[in-house]
């Protein structure tokens, strides 16, 4: 039976992994440092090594080479609580079989051990450089670093999903920087900001005389990303006709400029981002399903700041140093206030708050009164039309499937939309019907009648 060597200075990990191995019938031995592990490996010749990264003395990743020199291509499973992006990249760079983030479940380690002992060692193509400007060591950020490192090591199209200001562009840049395309350009396009009439020529370029004002041939953004990475921010907002053209460019590896008929070979990697639920946009018919499948080969979810409050002190220190105020410190009350906020604008909102406070604080200490007021959720960006359409489409399906709604589907759905609409309008105008109706573009009596109908239907 294949033998497993566990190298970890945490006794509980050695014990837990040994129980899993025993259950699978593998003899195990444990070592609490890389040096002790190497001595064990030399005499006992294990068939699999489960290796921690942070060890007293030589760290796990550095020790991989020595294990290889001793044992050849034995599978090595790294188990670690990565502190940062650089460690995640080193782990992917090393030719470990796989790696697992601590804390992990029994099933996770069991599945990896079984897989590792069944298959030949696999190596992940290394990204060329480490280093990162993504701040945060929370568990959710560590999982993110692992996804980023894996995305960087592949050529697959990546879809980043995350709320506004959560760091999607920063993640896209990290994927590019650590990828084999890092020598090519990183071209960022905010699709929502493109002028509708010029979007096609901006993206695909145009030939001389293609339209009035096109006096010379101009390559588009896709061509500029040739050999590099095209970052499509707010991808859900690409107009449908351009979605067809983009899909063709991705599938054929060639771009046809506006007014031209000769495709130009163009190979770029797409990293797309959206704060919307793209699969719901597909369900609502606002996004082509074939393009959706083409661009989301690998999904990376970016956690909102409220799910990683433990990163706030480090982020705040980072933004103080970017503002040239590294010597400023936060009072305990300020830290409490920062931790208690909801941050609908995420890291961007935190950055603005810190910059604002740095300007106001003259004493070298930031107190709560130096912070700008917290943004309220409702003040954040409203969902785009396609997002609303997606929700309405789902609700329409539910009502159409519900026998109790037969012949009243329209009435019910409209009532569900009208109720919050009227409530918001009335709240703004102190419950006065006339100005609320004016703002809505309805006659006062129509609004009154509709309110009565809604009232009687509840
Ligand atoms: N983990 C992080 N570490 C350091 N800075 C960060 C981090 N995440 C975000 N930021 C900073 O927060 C700001 C917003 O980040 P970014 O523009 O990447 O967000 P986004 O999700 O692309 O936003 P949007 O949806 O509005 O396009 C930037 O100044 C960025 O540098």
- pLDDT tens, residue order, the chain (458 aa): 889 999 999 999 999 999 999 988 899 999 999 999 999 998 899 999 999 999 999 999 999 988 887 888 889 999 988 667 777 778 777 778 887 888 888 888 998 898 888 754 333 333 333 334 789 988 899 889 989 999 999 999 999 999 989 999 999 999 999 999 999 999 999 887 777 777 888 899 888 776 766 667 788 899 999 999 999 999 998 888 889 999 999 999 999 888 888 888 999 999 999 988 888 889 888 899 999 999 999 999 999 999 999 999 999 999 998 888 888 999 999 999 999 999 999 999 999 999 999 988 878 899 999 999 887 765 444 455 556 777 788 888 888 888 888 888 888 888 888 988 998 888 777 788 888 888 888 888 888 888 888 887 76
Residue 15 lies in a domain: yes
Q: Judge if the beta carbon of residue 52 lies within 6 A of ligand 1.
A: no
Instruction: Tell me how far apart the alpha carbons of residues 291 and 153 are, in angstroms, rounded to a whole number.
Output: 23
163 lines ligand 1 (CB under 6 A): no
Q: Which atom of ligand 1 is nearest to the CA of 136?
A: 1
| Residue 150 is assigned to a structural domain of this protein | no
* Pocket flag, ligand 1, residue 162 (CB < 6 Å): yes
Contact by Cβ (8 Å): 152, 146 = no
Residues 249 and 323 in one domain: no
Residue 9 lies in a domain: yes
Q: Tell whether 159 and 297 lie within a shared domain.
A: yes
**9, 45: one domain:** yes
Residue at a domain's end among 302, 317, 332: 302
For residue 389, being part of any structural domain is answered with no
C-alpha 24 – ligand 1 centre gap (Å): 45
The answer as to whether 415 is a domain residue is yes
**CATH number of the domain encompassing residue 9:** 3.40.50.2300
Residues 413 and 297 in one domain: no
Q: Which of 241, 240, 234 is nearest to 191 (CA)?
A: 234
Whether the CB of 256 sits within 6 Å of ligand 1: no
The Cα 355–Cα 221 span in angstroms is: 33
Instruction: Choose one of 166, 167, 169 to mutate for the ligand 1 pocket test, by most ligand atoms within 8 angstroms of C-beta.
Output: 167
173 in contact with ligand 1, CB cutoff 6 A? no
In this structure, which residue's CA is closest to atom 18 in ligand 1?
A: 167
Q: How many domains does the chain have?
A: 4
Quick check: CB of 164 below 6 Å from ligand 1?
Answer: yes
Q: Give the ipTM of the model, two decimals please.
A: 0.98
Query: Does residue 261 fall inside a structural domain?
Result: yes
**Residue 142 placed within a domain:** no
Q: Are residues 168 and 296 in the same domain?
A: yes
Place of tokens 């509840």: 458
Question: Helical H runs in 253-364?
Answer: 278-283, 289-295, 312-322, 332-340, 346-360
Domain assignment of residue 414, given as a range: 402-457
**Is 289 found in the same domain as 167?**
yes
Give yes or no for residue 386 CB within 6 A of ligand 1.
no
In this structure, the residue with its CA closest to atom 10 of ligand 1 is 167
Whether residue 167 has its Cβ less than 6 Å from ligand 1: yes
Ligand 1 site, residue 220, Cβ cutoff 6 A:
no
């Amino acid at each position: 039976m294949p033998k497993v060597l566990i190298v970890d200075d945490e006794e509980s990990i050695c014990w837990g992994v040994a129980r899993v191995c025993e259950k699978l019938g593998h003899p195990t031995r444990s070592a609490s440092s890389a040096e002790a592990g190497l001595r064990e490996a030399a005499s006992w010749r294990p068939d699999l090594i489960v290796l921690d990264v942070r060890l007293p003395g030589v760290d796990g990743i550095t020790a991989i080479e020595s294990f290889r020199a001793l044992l050849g291509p034995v599978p090595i499973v790294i188990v670690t609580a990565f502190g940062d992006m650089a460690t995640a990249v080193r782990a992917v760079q090393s030719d470990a079989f796989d790696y697992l983030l601590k804390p992990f479940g029994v099933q996770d380690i069991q599945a990896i051990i079984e897989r590792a002992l069944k298959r030949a060692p696999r190596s992940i193509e290394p990204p060329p450089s480490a280093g990162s400007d993504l701040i945060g060591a929370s568990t959710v950020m560590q999982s993110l670093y692992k996804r980023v490192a894996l995305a960087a090591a592949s050529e697959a199209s990546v879809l980043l999903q995350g709320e506004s200001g959560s760091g999607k562009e920063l993640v896209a840049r990290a994927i590019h920087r650590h990828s084999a395309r890092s020598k090519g350009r990183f071209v960022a396009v905010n699709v929502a900001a493109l002028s509708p009439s010029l979007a096609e020529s901006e993206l695909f370029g145009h030939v001389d005389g293609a339209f009035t004002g096109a006096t010379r041939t101009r390559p588009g953004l896709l061509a500029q990303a040739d050999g590099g990475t095209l970052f499509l921010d707010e991808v859900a907002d690409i107009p449908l006709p351009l979605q067809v053209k983009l899909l063709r460019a991705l599938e054929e590896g060639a771009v046809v400029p506006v007014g031209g008929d000769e495709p130009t070979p163009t190979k770029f990697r797409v990293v797309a981002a959206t704060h919307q639920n793209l699969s719901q946009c597909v369900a609502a018919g606002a996004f082509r399903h074939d393009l959706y499948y083409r661009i989301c080969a690998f999904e990376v979810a970016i956690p909102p700041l409220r799910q990683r409050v433990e990163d706030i002190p480090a982020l705040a220190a980072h933004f103080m140093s970017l503002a040239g105020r590294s010597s400023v410190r936060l009072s305990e009350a300020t830290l409490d206030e920062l931790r208690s906020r909801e941050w609908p604008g995420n890291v961007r909102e935190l950055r603005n708050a810190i910059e604002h406070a740095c300007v106001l604080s003259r004493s070298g200490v930031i107190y709560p009164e130096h912070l700008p007021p917290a943004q309220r959720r409702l003040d954040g960006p409203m969902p785009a039309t396609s997002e609303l359409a997606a929700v309405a489409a789902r609700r329409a399906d539910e009502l159409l499937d519900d026998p109790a709604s037969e012949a009243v589907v329209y009435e019910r759905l409209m009532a569900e939309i009208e109720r919050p609409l009227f409530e918001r309008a009335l709240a703004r105008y102190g419950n006065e019907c006339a100005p609320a109706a004016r703002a809505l573009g309805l006659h006062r009596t129509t609004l009154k009648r509709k309110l009565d109908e809604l009232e009687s239907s509840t």
